[in-house]
Amino acid sequence: MHDGSEPNGRDGPRRRLPRWVPYFNAIAKPLLGIGVPMGPDVLLTVRGRKSGLERTTPVTICEYGGRRGFISPFGETNWVRNLRAAGTATIRRGRSREEIRAVELDHTEAVRFVQDVISPIAAGSRVGDWFVRNIDGIDLDHPEQAVIGKPVFEVWGFRK
């Protein structure tokens, strides 16, 4: 968990949201909502930190070795700030819903998450590896630098 002692996703150069992201989100959101499989993408619904209204956006959930989480390749987005403030959210694929709690990882933990979760996923797919490196801008060979300016959250489901 982030204790403020080391850099985390808030530090580092600001990365502008690519122009194509809102268009992709506009297409992906309804498709994911009706259950069309889109790889590791899910809908993340989190309460807005200012409005209190639920906000939903497509995100990629990284799952490997019993661990799950999100990395924001585009830095301090609204979903990041909302999730940081709320600490809980809902992830959804079609009709499947799960209430989760999320903890932002500090720099050391975020590096470990990239090494233990994201790198093995990317290594299993040429397309995945290319996407992570070129679209998300995550340098898997240098995870210490890769997480700077890219908040990382680990998530767990609520026990019922």
Instruction: Give the start-to-end residue ranges of the domains of the chain.
Output: 20-157
> What is the predicted pLDDT for the residue at 68?
97
Q: Identify any residues that bridge with 97 across adjacent strands, giving them in sequence order.
A: 92
Render each residue's pLDDT in the chain as its tens digit; 160 residues: 544 444 455 555 556 778 888 999 999 999 999 999 998 999 999 999 999 999 999 999 999 999 999 999 999 999 999 999 999 999 998 889 999 999 999 999 999 999 999 999 999 999 989 989 988 889 999 999 999 999 999 999 986 5
Query: What distance in Å separates the CA atoms of residue 93 and residue 42, rounded to the nearest whole number?
Result: 6
Burial label, 12 (beta-carbon count in 10 A; 0-12, 13-18, 19+): middle
**Among candidates 96, 50, 47, 78, which has minimal Cα distance to 59?**
78
| Spatial contact of 32 and 42, defined as CB atoms under 8 Å apart | yes
> What is the predicted pLDDT for the residue at 6?
47
Two structure tokens written together for 159: 């026990």
User: What CATH number belongs to 20-157?
Assistant: 2.30.110.10
Query: What distance in Å separates the CA atoms of residue 81 and residue 45, rounded to the nearest whole number?
Result: 13
For 26, other C-beta atoms within 10 Å of its C-beta total 10
> What is the predicted pLDDT for the residue at 59?
96
**What's phi and psi for 14, nearest 5 deg?**
-75, 135
> What is the predicted pLDDT for the residue at 10?
57
Query: What distance in Å separates the CA atoms of residue 150 and residue 138, rounded to the nearest whole number?
Result: 9
Q: Identify any residues that bridge with 36 across adjacent strands, giving them in sequence order.
A: none
> What is the predicted pLDDT for the residue at 15?
64
Query: What distance in Å separates the CA atoms of residue 32 and residue 50, rounded to the nearest whole number?
Result: 26
